[in-house]
Amino acid sequence: MRQRNGHIKNIDETGPLKISKNHYTVKKLQLMKIQTQNITCVLTLFFALAMNNCTADTVLGIPRQEAGIRLKSGDIRFIIDAEPSRAAELSKIHTALPFYVGLLLEAEYADNERAKLLFIEALKDPSVRAAALKKLSPVREEEEVQFDGPMAAGRTAIARKDYNEALRLFREGLDGGAEAFILDKDLLGDLGKAFQFAVIQGEGAAAPEGAELFLEWESGLREGNKLWALPESGRNEIRYMLLYYAGRMRRQLGEYVEAETLFGEAFSLAPDSEQADACIWYILNASFAKNKKNPEETTVLIKKYAPLWNDPGYFSDFFEEFTHSLCLYRRWDEMAEIFPAIRAYGGPELTAKYAFILGNAVELNFLQPQKAAAVLKSVYFDRNRTADSQLANAFYRIAYNSDVTAGLDTRSFYYTSAAAKKLGREPRLNMPGGSGRQAEFGLTNEFLYGFFRFGAARFAYPYIMEQAAELSVQELRALAELLASAERWGESIRIARTYMRRPGYIANRADLYICYPFAYTPLVEKFSRETGMDKYLLYGLIRTESIFTPDIVSRAGASGLTQLMPDTAREVARALVRAGGQDYFGEGGLDLRVPALNINLGAMYFQRLKERTNSTLLALLSYNGGVNRIRRWRGARPDLNEALFLESVDYAETRDYGRQVLTAAAIYRCLDSAASK
């Protein structure tokens, strides 16, 4: 048995991996707090067991038991020190072992010659043969690909988003007429994208030309003048595509009235529910873009099309911007007007969002009691049973009771947990418990299992993702657990998201233990205590910033678990030294990849922002969007409480960041509370 950060594993040398159901008991939450050690590798109990089956007395010139001890500790220097020609002796331990050691030698020691010899030796093992061959004969993506004519080359240009080159090539194809495009839906779609986004030097935007051409073709099909060789059954779908892409081109040009009309025509011809939703999205978007300060027309269209949309989640990005505008310009009546449609057709996530915001609007007297009562009565409420003072709570109860699942969409759980706080209740994780799972599940894929047997967990993720579509939920979950045990928490979370998004999969509370790991617990508890930062908020901040990946660096240059910019980190580190705290400056300066350093400085920086803003929420928003900007916006909107101010923040990324951190903190608090009970 091996215990690592609360994960209990039964590792069998010869059989499939077994993960005990005990992993999912409440005890797991207590085990998560046990101090985790840095895992250089998981080079494994397997070696101690496998050594008993070795027929040779020595491996690479040392006693086999000593070799096993070194491998278990992650020491592969004895492999480096041996003659390259003898590295194949590793196959005496296990025939697959040379492949995984080859990866380590290649990455950590740049010993490509010895790694190649090991990959050759690994060809003898069927479980790793394909991967070894790939390492020996990598596909050279930089080699020039020969295309069969301008059409194929144009499609490849679209794939790499080189729209100017794609349009140049497609124009060669257009010299032969429209038929090639009309008869190939994929090619027609790519031509539409090329016209939409291409900007030709000396000509300008290509969208006007494209829209005119597509509408000419659509007219020919509609009136029967140009049917090409298209069967009658397929004509309406091609007409839909021509109208749809012509609408996108008009929208690209800022011609929103024309675009809205074209999308309306396309909607009537949509071949399936997804395409119908796409047309509705563009209709709403075009209407909103015409006048963001005056949304009356858009509210009318929302009420018209809400009963017709198929997947409410398809419109989440539209409603994010639309709701921001309503809050920014204080359009509470319009929000109340569309709430019945949202309640009926928008799904639990959007319902929770609007109910929570409207509750705040009522609480602050932005929405008149008569209007609020009328809205509540239209959705379900008995006006006679509720005094004006209770109207806000009625909206909060709608948000609180929305059937929102916490696992995948943390943005929606933000509203249900915030409503719980308004009502003086505990947030609810509306997910089934872990008891519905099988008692045990196995991982029979020897190749993927080998990464964890042989200390190569750091290389496993891309190989897992290559096979993810063919792996069962049980196998993916087992791999997520193994990655977590190897302290590859970010990759573990990504694998969990992969299987949780599968159609029909119902996430349960046990999945939260993978998606919200109590990683770096000793450091989080130490520095939250020393700095005064709430520990659940610190967990949430680290998860949101880096998903517990200590060496991650953003495009802007922010580094480590709490994603600190180098200048900020140096400033905070100097302040820490002046206060008599830890001196993290070494000979090479601050190494922000070190978890203790990064968590300490990140927690200190957050607390400094909190002191400057006198608010946890404003400190979070400042952490992402900059303290001066946030203070300026807050000063310009003093009438809004913090919940509504968050909705009014001008940057979508910063709004989303605030919700994600607060939601993650709430989930961590719930999980920890379950352990205490």
pLDDT on residue 453: 83
**Greater confidence, 113 or 632?**
632
pLDDT range class, residue 432, cuts 50, 70, 90: low
pLDDT on residue 357: 98
pLDDT on residue 32: 38
- 377 pLDDT exceeds 60? yes
- 365 pLDDT exceeds 80? yes
**Greater confidence, 431 or 248?**
248
Identity of the highest mean pLDDT range in 126-140, 166-180, 243-257: 243-257
pLDDT on residue 148: 62
Cα separation of the two ends of the chain:
27
**What is the average pLDDT across 24-33?**
37
pLDDT on residue 114: 86
- 588 pLDDT exceeds 90? no
Q: Specify the residue for token string 């989080």.
A: 524
**What is the average pLDDT across 17-41?**
36
440 to each of 414, 458, 588, 618, 666, how far by Cα in Å? 33, 25, 48, 45, 30
pLDDT on residue 90: 82
Angle between helices 112-122 and 129-136 (to 10 degrees): 140
**What is the average pLDDT across 471-490?**
93
The C-alpha atoms of residue 557 and residue 573 are separated, in whole angstroms, by 18
Give the distance, in angstroms, between the CA of residue 492 and the centroid of all CA atoms in the same chain.
Answer: 12
- 320 pLDDT exceeds 90? yes
Listed range (35-49, 210-224, 228-242, 341-355) with the worst mean pLDDT: 35-49
CATH class of 162-290: mainly alpha
DSSP three-state, residue 204: strand
Strands 7-9 and 199-200: unpaired
Listed range (211-225, 394-408, 487-501, 652-666) with the worst mean pLDDT: 394-408
**What is the average pLDDT across 58-78?**
76
- 441 pLDDT exceeds 80? no
DSSP three-state, residue 8: strand
- 400 pLDDT exceeds 60? yes
Tell me the percentage of the chain whose pLDDT exceeds 70: 84
CB 320 within 8 A of CB 286: no
pLDDT range class, residue 10, cuts 50, 70, 90: very low
What's the topology of domain 521-676?
Lysozyme (1.10.530)
Q: Write the DSSP string, 378-404.
A: HHT--GGG--GGGHHHHHHHHHHTS--
pLDDT on residue 333: 96
pLDDT on residue 227: 75
- 141 pLDDT exceeds 50? no
Tokens representing 165 are: 């080159």
**Greater confidence, 340 or 175?**
340
Name 63's Cβ contacts closer than 8 Å, sequence gap at least 6: 57
Closest among 646, 660, 638, 644 to 617, alpha carbons compared: 646
CB 411 within 8 A of CB 350: no
Domain boundaries, the chain: 2-31, 45-136, 162-290, 521-676
Tokens representing 349 are: 């996530």
Tokens representing 160 are: 């790499």
DSSP three-state, residue 668: helix
**What is the average pLDDT across 174-184?**
89
**What is the average pLDDT across 545-553?**
96
pLDDT on residue 645: 98
pLDDT on residue 250: 97
pLDDT on residue 55: 43
Residue 553, φ and ψ in degrees, nearest 5? -130, 130
- 487 pLDDT exceeds 90? yes
Give the distance, in angstroms, between the CA of residue 487 and the centroid of all CA atoms in the same chain.
Answer: 19
pLDDT on residue 409: 53
Listed range (110-114, 600-604, 656-660) with the worst mean pLDDT: 110-114
pTM over 0.85: no
pLDDT on residue 87: 75
The C-alpha atoms of residue 466 and residue 658 are separated, in whole angstroms, by 33
Q: What is the DSSP letter of 184?
A: -
How much is the mean pLDDT over the chain?
A: 85
- The residue type found at 237 is E
Listed range (131-140, 484-493, 646-655) with the worst mean pLDDT: 131-140
Tell me the percentage of the chain whose pLDDT exceeds 90: 61
Q: Write the DSSP string, 25-66.
A: STHHHHHTTSPPPP-S----HHHHHHHTT--SSEETTEEHHH
Q: What is the DSSP letter of 4?
A: E
Q: Which residues pair with 441 in a beta bridge?
A: 19
**Greater confidence, 198 or 385?**
198
153 to each of 184, 517, 548, 597, how far by Cα in Å? 15, 46, 41, 50
Handedness of CA 175, 181, 186, 190 (dihedral sign): positive
The C-alpha atoms of residue 40 and residue 455 are separated, in whole angstroms, by 8
pLDDT range class, residue 339, cuts 50, 70, 90: very high
pLDDT range class, residue 61, cuts 50, 70, 90: confident
**Greater confidence, 105 or 194?**
194
Helix, strand, coil % (nearest 5) of the chain? 65, 5, 30
235 to each of 238, 249, 268, how far by Cα in Å? 5, 21, 13
